[in-house]
A and B are shown apart, each in its own frame.
Chain A
Amino acid sequence: MLSKRLIACLDVRDGAVVKGVRFEGLTGAGDPASLARRYNAEGIDELVILDVTATIERRRALADTVRAVAAELFIPLTVGGGIRAEEDAEAALDAGADKVALNSAALADPALVTRLASRYGSQAVVVAIDAKRNGDRFDVYARSGQAQTPREAVEWAVEAAERGAGEILLTSIDRDGTRSGFDCGLTSAVSSAVSIPVIASGGAGTFEHFHEVFTDGRADAALAASVFHFSEHAVAELKAFLSERGVPMRLPPKGGSHGDRK
């Protein structure tokens, strides 16, 4: 049975990991490569490097950071932030990323999704959607949550999948950084509408929040940052917690942490 995935997100700015509250107010949390190493040893299933300021400052994701993180990791690595054109995707993939996450660029030029999927395969193309509740609908925002678009999240996810996206990374702007739980309604609505995997993001605060999003939210994967950053054994403990509650997980082998064995 396919395991539900836990994905650690490294929000990176100028080569250092930061974590924002509702995309603002950034505080330092560590060196990307050493954090990545720790997560890998703990058994994290996947990593995402998000260059949080890339789109705003019109920069590409830092290839050096990607290279440093990819150097010793053998789990899937996604890079987002500043992927605006095929050259940006190529640079990220050549630096060692397995997937690129497109957000504002896909909104501005939806055909970019198809071009990248044709060239690298759908498995390499993640469409990131930042959504905010507005009554019964979910408005899509661009530019790190700063610019509202006319799009609706479920419809955009369906279109992105049709255009060749391999996965949807769905962030609730309302919940991001609040630690008040994932938006299970949003996640479930999108996950039910598309056949491709949906990664839930925004709002993780407790282990129970992950259980909710994997059950009520119908998420295929859950992404978090600070929950993993500030506690030593959070990944292993969270996996044990979820596994005990019937959520299929990739668990570390008995008698040692995952990264110890060669």
Chain B
Amino acid sequence: MIALIDYGAGNLTSVRKALAAVSAEVFTPSSAAELAPAAGVIVPGVGNFDATRAIDNEWRTAILRGVDRGVPLFGICLGMQYLFEGSDEAPGVPGLGLLRGHCELLPSTVKVPHVGWNALTITRPSTLLDSAEPAVASAFRRKDEPQVYFTHSYAAPVTADCVATSEHGARFAAAVERGNVFGVQFHPEKSSDAGLRILRAFVTRCSRND
């Protein structure tokens, strides 16, 4: 069973629907203690980084303990930003700090928020993306990059943990992976077939821990 954490940042109907479509068994824990048996943890979320405040110390500890035990953790959109140390959007609110770096506002030279379908430039092999678009992942071609759906104003920096970038005014981390910690800035649940493949890759990765 995969734990989908509902901390009130947006409506989770679409995420649930997409996870069901890839045959994932999902539950929404009502307390941090319920996280313990999860084979995987998903932190979704949209909106302001400040919303992650709702994930209190008890939840943070439970999430981090799971990561230490090898349980796969997947952050989606705001949930991916939460994997980092923090964000300029809510300077006083710490992220999980599992990944080094700080999220910043996208440049004002382009329309912000960044809304719509954009190309993923895959920068290295990864668990999440290799199955998303096998031909692209293996060939690293510049053209025919998979397109996924974004909607965000802040973005994470391109670091060694980055497995795919995208560009809107500047290059930013579109997907990250470090050990059993995974994240995507885009919405796989809204990214049609490419998105479902990514969700399926995470679910498959979790089944190794079941």
Contact = CB atoms under 8 A, between A and B. Distances in A.
Interface of A: 1-5, 40, 45, 70-72, 74-76, 93-96, 98, 120-124, 166-167, 195-197, 220-221, 250, 253-254, 258-259, 261-262
Contacts of B110: 2
A122 B116 contact: no
B11 A124 contact: yes
A1 B11 CA distance: 28
Given A76-B149, A123-B151, A124-B10, A197 B115 contact: yes
B166 to A, nearest CB: 9
A122 B47 contact: yes
B14 A96 contact: yes
14 contacts: A1-B119, A2-B110, A2-B116, A70-B14, A74-B21, A75-B149, A76-B190, A98-B14, A98-B190, A120-B10, A122-B113, A196-B111, A220-B116, A221-B116
Interface residues of B, number: 35
B123 to A, nearest CB: 17
A75 B13 contact: no
Contacts of B151: 123, 166
Interface stretch (B32-40, B84-92, B191-199): B191-199
Contact of B147 (A93, A123, A250): A250
Contacts, number: 98
A220 B115 contact: yes
* Chief secondary structure at chain B's binding surface: mixed
A3 B17 contact: no
Contacts of B144: 253-254
A198 B116 CA distance: 11
B189 interface: yes
A113 to B, nearest CB: 15
A47 to B, nearest CB: 11
A230 to B, nearest CB: 24
Contacts of B149: 75-76
A5 B119 CA distance: 13
Interface string B9-41: 111011001100100000000000000000000
Given A74-B192, A124-B46, A166-B113, A2 B13 contact: no
Contacts of A123: 46-47, 113, 115, 151-152
Interface string B175-210: 000000000000001111101100000000000000
B115 A166 contact: yes
Contact of A1 (B10, B115, B118, B191): B118
